[in-house]
Structure 1
Amino acid sequence: MAESAPDALKGEDWAGEMGERWLASLDRFEGMIAPIGAALLARADYRAGERVLDLGCGGGATTLAIAEAVGPEGAAVGLDIAPMLVEAATRRAADAHSTARFVCADAATATLDEPPFDRLFSRFGSMFFAEPVAAFANIKAMLKPGARIDLAVWAHPRDNAWMMEVMGVVRAHVEVPTAIPRAPGPFAFEDLDYLAEVLSGAGFGGMTVEAYEGQQPVGGPGASASEATDFVLASMAAGRILAEQGESVLAAARADLEAMFARHHRAGEGVMLACKAWLVSASA
């Protein structure tokens, strides 16, 4: 297997194609990363009355959980650049009779018509900024002085078999450029020294880190090898890369992906592959 994520997976268009892909497989995406979100929520330990901004909220699952923790006297506001995800999250909140609210905007430049927040939360929503120091400085302006931030970011690709195994198959069928370190994308903050530089440059301090390590169900809990393959090809950038090579390449890669996922399938659990993330806290 190769040891780095492809450059083709960097800089996704979350307001467009990637947002549509996420929405189309929302339950499967969220099922994959729900345990990491739960660990970050436990680390954040929100209390009644706190005002919390959920950065890169996606379909709103974590925002709804935060709203329940802070209660009606607090506030949970989800912020995401993808309009289709914000619309889905808003419908979800209405169906759940939740007090969670959602705003569609680019956190790198947005000015929210909101009082300053006590806390910031982000489950894999902070790694895609083209100018991360400037973006985090803008986010800091939305927070009260001393506000705590809690982020989940992916650790190095070599510690995330869910990515490495997929890319091993992809690279057997198509040449993929080597990733550019620190480029915007899922693994932008794999290097904690770089993340510390970004946060410090934006005015945050006191960074602490806890490692999360576990097994991740590709395609969501209970997915079969075939379902996990369909999920990857339809929803992840790897699927787009393969589709661009034509039907014969795509068919061969599909067969190899399904065979690989079958080796990692556990009855009653799904396709389980190792994952590692950093749970990071700091203060404004």
Structure 2
Amino acid sequence: MVTEVTVDASNATQFASWDGEGGAFWAVHADRFDEGVAAYRDRFLAAAAIEETATVLDVGCGSGRMALDAARRATARSVLGVDLSTEMLRLARRRAEREHVTNVTFEQADAQIHPFPAGAFDVAVSRHGVMFFGDPVAAFTNLARALRPGGRIALLTWQPFERNEWLQAFFVCLAAGRDIAVPPSDAPSPFALSDPDRIRSLLNAAGFCDVQMEGLAEPMYFGRDPDDAFRFVSAQHAGLVRDLSPGAKSRALDDLRANLAKHHTERGVRYDSAAWLIQGRRD
């Protein structure tokens, strides 16, 4: 039985992507994406401070890695992971079964409008999953309503584009001399929660207080060697070169391959990255 997902109109484009080719790509490469940001894992889990008796909501849970980590800590309660992607949720369920984690469930839902039970959760977490809401104030207000009074939120989001070497490098290589628009910081994109003032304003307006932010910087992993990383990165960002002439496309991909080779270390291909660790509390 297929259940129809109710999605706010402001999130229709995101739904089409995450429940389409975008989400399918992330599901196929889930281990690579998880390994890519693994350096942030311990700091994020420490900030989330998930206790044995906590009930946890994971927003934009993707293929379930954070939700599974949370479930292993909330052993006396449960974790709910929500996402828009059918394929990533399917993988999350398989991972939970394979890893014998029984206190986690996954549901396809638009967290901006989903009718979560009021006050049902002690902690809401999200690892790079809350930057894509069409109406972020409405979304965070809905998440605040789902938390008990005094409940906590812990988020990991990207710092501004210019502080993230990985994406800057990929854009420069694949631009082939063109001007490519940087993902916006005031609309759904990976950098929608990159400006500290905007973050505090949105969370305060949604009913969160004691908002704290800590800047983290860690290397991101993209592959065991340049060839491995090239296959992954060129596929993920194929849209950037789709409209180039064959010659320009070839040169852009050669530039990408050369740049990846420059970042090859004994621990694989790695680039600098920067993220915000955000914490807050429901009023």
So what's the TM-score if we normalise by structure 2? Answer: 0.89
Distance 2:64 2:170 in 1: 27
Task: Give the C-alpha shift of residue 17 in structure 1.
Answer: 2.2
Distance 1:179 1:185 in 2: 6
Match among 239, 254, 271 for residue 273 of structure 1 = 271
Render the CA deviation track for 1:68-106: whole Å, top value 9, x for unaligned.
1110x2111111111111111011101111022111111
Match among 59, 83, 89 for residue 86 of structure 2 = 83
Q: How many residues align?
A: 268
Partner of 2:8: none
Distance 1:270 1:151 in 2: 27
Q: Quick one: which amino acid aligns to residue 147 of structure 2?
A: L
Bigger relative contact order (CA 8 A; separation at least 6): 1
Aligned 8 A contact 1:173 1:249 in 2: no
Are residues 91 and 174 of structure 1, via their aligned partners in 2, closer, same or farther at CA, if it must alter by over 3 Å? same
Q: Quick one: which amino acid aligns to residue 37 of structure 2?
A: I
Render the CA deviation track for 1:41-68: whole Å, top value 9, x for unaligned.
1221211010000111111011111101
Render the CA deviation track for 1:256-282: whole Å, top value 9, x for unaligned.
111001011002x11111111010000
Aligned 8 A contact 1:215 1:275 in 2: yes
Partner of 2:126: 122
Aligned 8 A contact 1:11 1:185 in 2: no
Q: Does residue 1:283 correspond to 2:281, yes or no? A: yes
Aligned 8 A contact 1:233 1:240 in 2: no
Unpaired runs of 5+ residues, structure 2, are 1-12
Are residues 180 and 276 of structure 1, via their aligned partners in 2, closer, same or farther at CA, if it must alter by over 3 Å? closer
Task: Give the C-alpha shift of residue 27 in structure 1.
Answer: 1.0
Task: Name the % identity.
Answer: 32
Partner of 1:7: none
Unpaired runs of 5+ residues, structure 1, are 1-9
Partner of 1:261: 260
Match among 212, 215, 218 for residue 214 of structure 1 = 218
Distance 1:205 1:151 in 2: 14
Q: Quick one: which amino acid aligns to residue 261 of structure 1?
A: L
Partner of 2:10: none
Task: Give the C-alpha shift of residue 205 in structure 1.
Answer: 0.9
Q: Does residue 1:97 correspond to 2:95, yes or no? A: no
Aligned 8 A contact 1:53 1:120 in 2: yes
Task: Give the C-alpha shift of residue 181 in structure 1.
Answer: 3.4
Match among 133, 158, 164 for residue 160 of structure 1 = 164
Distance 2:178 2:90 in 1: 36
Q: Quick one: which amino acid aligns to residue 49 of structure 2?
A: D
Distance 1:83 1:11 in 2: 13
Distance 2:118 2:138 in 1: 20
Render the CA deviation track for 1:204-261: whole Å, top value 9, x for unaligned.
1110111111211124xxx2111111111212xx321212335433322221111001
Distance 1:180 1:277 in 2: 16
Q: 1:1-284 to 2 correspondence within 5 Å?
A: 13-71=17-75, 73-98=76-101, 99-112=103-116, 116-219=120-223, 223-235=224-236, 238-267=237-266, 269-284=267-282
Distance 1:227 1:92 in 2: 24
Distance 1:179 1:56 in 2: 19
Distance 1:157 1:55 in 2: 23
